[in-house]
Structure 1
Amino acid sequence: MDETYIQDVKKKSIIGVATLIARTFFLQIVSLIAMFILTILLSPSVFGIYYIVLAIINILNYFADIGLASALIQKKDEPGSEDYKTTFTIQQLLVSVSVLIFLLLSESIGSFFNLTNEGIFLLRALLISFFLSSLKTIPSVILERKLEFGRKVVPQILEVLSFNIVTVFLAWRGFGLTSFAYAALVRGVVGVVAIYILSPWKLGFGISRSSARSLLSFGIPLQAGAILALVKDDLLTIYLGKVIPIKAEIGYIGWAKRWSEVPLRQFMDNIIAVSFPVYSRIQHNKEVLRKALEKTTFFTALFIFPGVVAMVILIKPVALVIPGYFSKWQFAFFSFYLLSVNAILASLSSPLVQALNALGKVKTTFILMLVWTFLTWAIIPILVSRLGFNGFAIGSFIISLTAFLPIFLIRRYTPYSPIKPLLKPTIGTIIMALSMSIPLATIGSSLFGVILAIISGVTLYSLFIYKTSKAEVAPLFLQLIKTIKMR
């Protein structure tokens, strides 16, 4: 593989990760502030209905996408016009038919889940938003293949800003659950307009048999694994929404899951978004792939380990500082702690699953997902029936202990080892945890104690990483600073 090409991919991957982290840091602040305000303005039962409806839409998303977009990204050669038109046409046929069916069945779906009229309206609004989102696929694929993540993030920024601003404003005005519905429609329109301005693509219809056959040979097994993930996650949420009579308890599960995954959404999603196309570009060079995987493991742990541990330490003190917040959400804390362990283990396994997909080993990842899906449905429903809503987190924790499986699988194709990349972030996180616990233990759960704990933890962790890993982190942070200044 040409050294110049490898260096170009490396440069673009660093820029991509830095750009996405800068974007997500900003958007997470916006989303977390909005989420916090909404958890004050809206009741847990409203969030319970929202999570159920969102899970229904996610199901639709999986069945309306048969992996063609991922196949275009993974494709070794540059896709042609026929590839793009074939993907767009097949996807739009699936999306249009699916949306129409769900719109016609919306009343029945609402009746089945005991949704209010507002819940049914939310379902319909999210269906329309889903259709609008499907129109962005080809322009997004074009940018992703070019590793132009700087342009790709702009529509996402506009979408998140518009959604959160509209949701909070309408919730403040008393719209309740329908706040999410109107915000979803605004987000859908904003996203489509923005992506076509930044990545123009002339809409075209047509199906090439040879192109479809080639893309589907990769896309269908990949999407089969995604559908299993759907059965494992979103279908389970829908099932719980039916068997758990108190919607507030679904809200507790959603709250715990949402907050425990904040570090994943902030860092891991961005790393994976870059790593899949990058791994696809370097899949022929096993040594380069090994180095890329170990670098991914290092940076994932560098950000996610301290992020998760800090949230575990701070969640209760912060809730106690805010009037009325602890009493409202305290029942979700136990689930939050267990799901936080899941987040750490998922941060290690998810990039490796993406690497297997980039290598074209979609059948292997399908079997892996099959195992996780079986365990999910074999364990969680039983625990929920016996232990209540906390059974979800307990079962998820048990299943997360199998996160080591992708390590053994990826080692069949490259001599990857996670031990060295994990060592420094793990030690640094332990130091950070101790430094944060001391002020909270001595001062107590006060605003001053929380601020002091954050300053102490960030300072000591940063100093440790600077002393032990300066050469590894410097390129990313320099690019991150440059990206922030450009914004």
Structure 2
Amino acid sequence: MANSYEQLDIEFIKRKAISGVVTFTLRTFFIQIYTFFATFVLTILLSPEVFGVYFIVLALINILVYFSDVGLAAALIQKKEEPKRIDLITTFTIQQSIVLFLVAIGLIFSGRIANFYNLSVDGLLLLRMLIFSLLLSSLKTIPSILLERHLKFTRFVIPQIVENFVFYTLAIILALNGFGISSITWSIFARGLIGLILIYILSPFKPDIGFNIKSAKRLVSFGIPFQLNSIIALIKDDLLIVVIGKILPIIQIGYIGWSQRFAFLPLRFIMDNVIKVTFPAYSRLQNDLNYMKSAIEKSLFFVTFIIYPLISGLVVIAPMVIKIVPNYSKWEPALPLLYFFAINAIFAAVNTTLTNTLFALGKPSIILKLMMLWTILTWVLTFFFIKLFGFAGVAIASAMVSISTSIIIYFVNKEIKISITRNIYGPIVASGVMFFSLKIIEQNLPVNIFSLIFIIMIGMIIYIILSFLILREKLTESLKIVLSVIFPMK
């Protein structure tokens, strides 16, 4: 009798990985565009202070999120053999025990936390709702693992699309009706509840309580080093925001959150989709390094080809948008931060893919050591630059640390030889020429909506023409792959 979760051969994994990236990108394209414009609308309707509160509270909740998982989810995805039900039940039991404990602690101390940051009643409600949403999110873990492990990305993406649509639509409606920060609070609840229902419909799993010590030890041996990296990343990023949230005024935290969010939008648009697909796919290819090398190089090209022009274009049009859009001049103090966070995004496009490679190869200990180095650098440089440049120092430190992450290339090449420069030079050259061309054109145009549209259109034309001049063969090959996924041969 054929097992529905049979061992996947290499060719099948390759097809599923490619189709997964394409499907994720195509299916999330419109919702990502919608998310971008919805976020943009919210930044018009809500004040920097509101975003400052949200940014701090979100960082606090991320601390609970990291401690709610001991890396068992990643261990189940990375596992070479098919997980048994006892593995799933053991993971579910351990995680829910941790989550329930953390949610209880979070709710008990939420009042004191709100007082510490001088949060309003609405801010306290937002904090408590985010704590509760952790429970809803944790219940989705096993169904999500099953979809990821078996590379069923067409199903996996559906809850994400619906969750984003519900969250941003409801948030805008409530913000338009004067709910302020509460518009985010109730949107979080609606998103979590609907996402939970959908994931169980698409990936049925019967929850149960059980524990197998042998299974737990096996999963934890990979999971804990993996999660330690996440916890160090937490100290590097979210805990830092929690600390500076007490040092800097709330409005400046809002500027930091706004600039970081928009600078990283191109990353979120592409990178999250690619990582969701490539970690399980690379993990299944770890016994054949030649195929894995090819897959990683294609990922690098795909990611940089899309992300680099988006970042370049964003940096060019941001000052125009600030001046053109009504009620948007309030974000002008955040523009310098946007430029430095954009530098971070440029390096992250490559280095995050390579970090993902080491995880898939079962080398989380290497990443752990590097994360410790980057965390120390982040904290030292952030407080140093805050003293010199005020709140802009947060973004300057972020850019400096991102450059240092390129050391990951050395460690990846020790495990598997990858041609990085050959796969990213084209997007770098095309994006660079596009950027400088647009800056020259922009200086000779009046600041209005027509100039903004013209700049965007010219930027697209320049990048497309340059890309085909520099990368004709590689683009033709990639286009054939994409078309074969969209229109498969019968």
Which interval holds the TM-score relative to the shorter structure?
over 0.9
Residue pair 2:374, 2:405 contacting (<8 A) in 1 also = no
Aligned-residue offset at 1:436: 2.7
Q: Give the Cα separation in 1 of the matches to 2:487 and 2:195.
A: 26
Q: Give the 3-state SS of the residue equivalent to 1:465 in structure 2.
A: helix
Q: What stretches of structure 1 of length at least 5 have no aligned partner?
A: none
Residue pair 1:435, 1:456 contacting (<8 A) in 2 also = no
Q: What's the CA shift string for 1:138-195, capped at 9, x where partnerless?
A: 0000000111111001111111111111111111111111111111111111001000
Residue pair 2:229, 2:367 contacting (<8 A) in 1 also = yes
Q: Give the Cα separation in 2 of the matches to 1:428 and 1:148.
A: 34
Q: Give the 3-state SS of the residue equivalent to 2:443 in structure 1.
A: helix
Amino acid in structure 2 at the alignment position of 1:420: R
Which of residues 25, 40, 43 is equivalent to 1:39? 43
Range with bigger deviation, 137-146 or 432-441: 432-441
Which of residues 116, 122, 137 is equivalent to 1:112? 116
Equivalent positions of 1:351-366 (< 5 A) are 351-366=353-368
Equivalent positions of 1:236-385 (< 5 A) are 236-244=240-248, 246-325=249-328, 327-385=329-387
Residue pair 2:99, 2:135 contacting (<8 A) in 1 also = yes
Q: Give the 3-state SS of the residue equivalent to 2:9 in structure 1.
A: helix
Equivalent positions of 1:45-444 (< 5 A) are 45-244=49-248, 246-325=249-328, 327-444=329-446
Q: Give the 3-state SS of the residue equivalent to 1:175 in structure 2.
A: coil
Residue pair 2:133, 2:189 contacting (<8 A) in 1 also = yes
Aligned-residue offset at 1:480: 7.2
* Length, aligned pairs only: 479
Amino acid in structure 2 at the alignment position of 1:218: F
Aligned-residue offset at 1:96: 0.5
Range with bigger deviation, 183-192 or 381-390: 381-390
Aligned-residue offset at 1:438: 4.2
Q: Name 1:460's counterpart in structure 2.
A: 462
Q: What stretches of structure 2 of length at least 5 have no aligned partner?
A: 1-7
Q: Give the Cα separation in 1 of the matches to 2:212 and 2:365.
A: 25
Q: What's the CA shift string for 1:373-430, capped at 9, x where partnerless?
A: 1111111022213321101011111111112111000011111121100121112212
Identity %: 42
Q: Give the Cα separation in 2 of the matches to 1:143 and 1:465.
A: 35
Residue pair 1:304, 1:347 contacting (<8 A) in 2 also = yes
Amino acid in structure 1 at the alignment position of 2:368: F
Q: Give the Cα separation in 1 of the matches to 2:20 and 2:58.
A: 29
Q: What's the CA shift string for 1:261-303, capped at 9, x where partnerless?
A: 0100001111111111111011112222222221111111101
Aligned alpha-carbon RMSD (Å): 1.6
Q: What's the CA shift string for 1:107-164, capped at 9, x where partnerless?
A: 0111111111111100111111111111000000000011111100111111111111
Aligned-residue offset at 1:7: 1.9
User: Cα 1:386–1:73, aligned 2, differ >3 Å: closer, same or farther?
Assistant: same
Q: Give the Cα separation in 1 of the matches to 2:212 and 2:148.
A: 23
Residue pair 1:435, 1:453 contacting (<8 A) in 2 also = no
Which of residues 459, 475, 483 is equivalent to 2:480? 475
Q: What's the CA shift string for 1:51-99, capped at 9, x where partnerless?
A: 1001111110000011000000000000000000000000000000000
Q: Give the 3-state SS of the residue equivalent to 1:47 in structure 2.
A: helix
Q: Give the Cα separation in 1 of the matches to 2:186 and 2:53.
A: 16
Aligned-residue offset at 1:482: 5.5
Aligned-residue offset at 1:213: 0.3
Q: Name 1:451's counterpart in structure 2.
A: 453
Aligned-residue offset at 1:10: 1.4
Q: Give the 3-state SS of the residue equivalent to 1:401 in structure 2.
A: helix
Residue pair 1:318, 1:445 contacting (<8 A) in 2 also = no
Aligned-residue offset at 1:476: 4.7
Q: Give the Cα separation in 1 of the matches to 2:310 and 2:123.
A: 34
Which of residues 28, 32, 41 is equivalent to 1:28? 32
Range with bigger deviation, 10-19 or 63-72: 10-19
Q: Give the Cα separation in 2 of the matches to 1:125 and 1:479.
A: 44
Residue pair 1:22, 1:480 contacting (<8 A) in 2 also = no
Find out whether 1:9 has 2:13 as its counterpart.
yes
User: Cα 1:377–1:479, aligned 2, differ >3 Å: closer, same or farther?
Assistant: farther
Residue pair 1:18, 1:476 contacting (<8 A) in 2 also = no
Q: Give the Cα separation in 2 of the matches to 1:423 and 1:477.
A: 22
Q: What's the CA shift string for 1:220-276, capped at 9, x where partnerless?
A: 0000010000000000111111111x2110000000000000100001111111111
Amino acid in structure 1 at the alignment position of 2:303: T
Amino acid in structure 1 at the alignment position of 2:138: S
Q: Give the 3-state SS of the residue equivalent to 2:414 in structure 1.
A: coil
Residue pair 1:18, 1:479 contacting (<8 A) in 2 also = no
Amino acid in structure 2 at the alignment position of 1:6: I
Q: Give the Cα separation in 2 of the matches to 1:463 and 1:385.
A: 45
Aligned-residue offset at 1:435: 4.1
Q: Give the Cα separation in 2 of the matches to 1:165 and 1:71.
A: 35
Amino acid in structure 2 at the alignment position of 1:59: I
